[in-house]
Chains A and B, each alone.
Chain A
């Protein structure tokens, strides 16, 4: 496919059709912070941390770089006052859930985010969906999934599948930026170790 020339933070970058802005930036060694992105997984666009400013002609808009496709003559700015402000707030919101995550703390330092700005609701999970998507897209086991929506959204293991698949895999553990995954897993384990209690056992 034809090469596309884009300009990121003043630097000319060659990209190809179908690449995202994030990929183009990474290929040129320009770093954009991400939380929910993983190169083996389909773009998700959930954490919004990778937001950047793109300019097409005279028109500037803010887009998330992990999803936005490159196009000809695109001008990208990965930092600006507004971008930093958004990233700072996103980090502060996430730190209310996972105040000890090293990944979040490092980023907090860079963007001047106050980890104590919001009252703690230490649920640990920051809903990046890496475990859920990895288990689905890469391992094709779907042992863990999302449940519910809005502010009640959580991750949840399917005990029967977890009991069969997870012990020897655990590949998603290192992906998790917090301790949520392991906590959820331990919980599931405790639920499955005794024979399934109140649930009438299924046919399988």
Chain B
């Protein structure tokens, strides 16, 4: 993401320091991660110390400081899914992909995240891949879903 684009996003919020989180969300949404140069640019333009931006970028779950994989796996670990066995689903996906929640594999194929309540508790346990919901997913079914991704 180049500086011009970062500047445009900053301008959308009138360059106000109080919109810092909104600006970072804007960059994250578009770029899927927050490159260091973008953070430095935001720091410079908004006159907010980099240390504070770094705290924000690591404090909130929406932000990532590393590039994400091509496919994003979200496993709901909300309470309803938990009592319906989400941990076993998560463990199986961890074994299959070799990555832990919050990580991306070396080929940049998958990123794995846990999420809290996707609002489809009736379907629990739920796994979402690239925004598509797979409901009532048993651990044994996860491999069938994931093998379709390149």
Contact = CB atoms under 8 A, between A and B. Distances in A.
B59 A148 contact: yes
A145 B37 contact: no
Interface of A: 132, 135-136, 142-149, 156, 158, 161, 199-200, 202-204
Contact of A148 (B37, B40, B58): B58
B147 interface: no
B27 to A, nearest CB: 16
Nearest to B44: A204
Interface in B10-65: 36-37, 40, 49-52, 54-55, 58-59
Contacts of B40: 202-204
A127 to B, nearest CB: 13
B36 A145 contact: no
A135 B55 CA distance: 15
A139 B58 CA distance: 24
Given A147-B58, A148-B59, A149-B59, A158 B37 contact: no
B146 to A, nearest CB: 28
A145 B40 CA distance: 15
Nearest to B35: A200
B36 A202 contact: yes
Given A202-B36, A202-B37, A202-B40, A136 B51 contact: yes
A136 B49 contact: yes
A142 B48 CA distance: 10
5 nearest interchain CB pairs? Answer: A145-B51, A142-B49, A142-B51, A147-B58, A148-B58
Contacts of A135: 51
A20 B66 CA distance: 43
A158 B54 contact: yes
B55 A147 contact: yes
Contacts of B50: 142, 145, 158, 161
B97 to A, nearest CB: 22
A33 to B, nearest CB: 28
Interface in B69-87: none
Contacts of A148: 58-59
Contacts of A149: 58-59
A135 B51 CA distance: 10
A204 B52 CA distance: 19
